[in-house]
Amino acid sequence: MKFVAVTSCPTGIAHTYMAAEALEQAGKAAGHEVQVETQGSAGSTPLDPAIIEAADGVIFAADLEVRDKERFAGKPTIDVGVKKAVHDAPGVLNQAIAAVEAGVSTPAATAGGGSKDPATTIDRSSSVGTRVRQYLMTGVSYMIPFVAAGGILIALSFMIGGYEIVNVKADEVINNFDVLSKTSWAALMNLTGGVAFGFLVAVLSGFIAFAIADRPGLVPGFVGGSISVAVGAGFLGGLVSGFVAGFLALWISRWKVPKGVRGIMPVVVIPLLSTFVTGLLMFVVLGRPLAALMDGLSDWLSGLSGSNLILLGLILGAMMGIDLGGPVNKVAYTFAVTGLSTAGLTDGATQFRVMATVMGAGMVAPLAMALATTVRKRLFTRAERENGKAAWLLGLSFISEGAIPFAAADPLRVLGASVVGSSVTGGLIMAFDASQRAPHGGVWVLPLVDNWLLFLLAVAIGTVISAVLVIIFKGLGSNPALEAEQAA
């Protein structure tokens, strides 16, 4: 059989391409042809229409919206999460084969901004919790590039010009920029990064609404997120405004209206009404209590000390290690990043410690797998040993997904060890009072880490603990993949 597939994950980086490779390899092993379109953060190359036309079935392995979904109308289709394709590509392929044999085709998708249902991979038959997670992950996925661009520019400006660079105003850069002055360059980075960082809440809100209502949700979602910042509701307000705007836009787009009105619904009626009502709710009804809740969260964080702060580090560390770039990992990371935006990257010591905790703990799993494959090669397959070499660089760069190939093959032992080591690292970083102002970068942003030697010590301790546990766990049980390789 011939299949076409689309893969995408919340960040559009690791899982997207790993799922594509897994599906292609599973198809080759089973004697089927699978051609994949990766809709990642770097964009995508659409499948040739002739290839889609010749396909027997379609596989959507995605946690985000599948762009131009109507291209696949009329084909037997299955829709699974991207992690399912990474962990069990043969099982996904078998589902697709069964769908083709059953001969059930999908109806044509409605294109355009006034579609009744959003062109996303949100499964309407799934549980409420699953759908909420999918909506949230869509918003986070679009927010992360703003985090990387804005946060790292600001952090670099501190590295070049010191923390006092925040006192340089935009007028000074516009009127007195000096190409030969490092202060001018640092101020430019700080101002540009600040603008990018200022979009975080609006982008989060806008694309949560987009996941719910497709394009009709964008305008009220972005406006609601901007209002959240204006009234002091911050990140929490952005979450709420995204859901409010999305469901409002979806509800209005489903109104039965006369034919003469349909043409202006997506460009006038839906954005006008949904934006006004979202503004009304955020300014008058929800803004004040959400701002109070956000202030309470900030005060709680600022008030943490001693054992309570270490406990928070243990919890955040475990979250970073439990699913290696999945939803739980992303919740912890988003919590840290939005703490930076609240602190403005210039104050708020507790928020900086949270960021250091999340980054350090997220480095542990791939580094531990790299170390384990180096010191106990005989416990791992040839492919795992090769993946272990790449995991050194991925771990040092704070890319937790570097451990996914190991977790996919042996989830209980690898993830169990990952959680323990990452949690220990999180607790130690809090205890060592290490802090970090950059939202990403791993060891490449060490100059921006306060108490960086102790930060590295915490990462090293967690790495050794996870590696030792993996080696012990591997030694106690069987390894079917390794045994099959040795038999061959």
Q: Which residues are catalytic?
A: 9
User: Residue 37: CB partners within 8 Å, gap ≥ 6?
Assistant: 4, 5, 6, 7, 44, 45, 46, 47
What gap in Å lies between CA 399 and CA 380, rounded to an integer? 21
DSSP 102-144: HTPPPPPPPPSTT-SS-SS---TTS-HHHHHHHHHHHHHHHHH
Joined together, the tokens standing for residue 413 give: 């032992």
What gap in Å lies between CA 222 and CA 279, rounded to an integer? 11
From 465, 469, 484, select the one nearest 381 (Cα to Cα): 484
From 69, 60, 15, select the one nearest 41 (Cα to Cα): 15
| DSSP assignment letter at 80 | E
What are phi and psi for residue 143, nearest 5 degrees?
Answer: -75, -35
Q: What is the 3-state secondary structure (H, E, C) of 322-374?
A: HCCCCHHHHHHHHHHHHHHHHHCCCCCHHHHHHHHHHHHHHHHHHHHHHHHHH
From 283, 287, 207, 198, select the one nearest 245 (Cα to Cα): 207
Whether residue 422 contacts residue 365, with contact meaning beta carbons closer than 8 Å, is answered with yes
Whether residue 135 contacts residue 211, with contact meaning beta carbons closer than 8 Å, is answered with yes
What are phi and psi for residue 322, nearest 5 degrees?
Answer: -80, -30
Q: Chain-centre distance of CA 193, in angstroms?
A: 20
Whether residue 91 contacts residue 108, with contact meaning beta carbons closer than 8 Å, is answered with no
Q: CA–CA distance from 69 to each of 79, 218, 364 (Å)?
A: 12, 19, 38
What gap in Å lies between CA 122 and CA 63, rounded to an integer? 8
Count of residues for the chain? 488
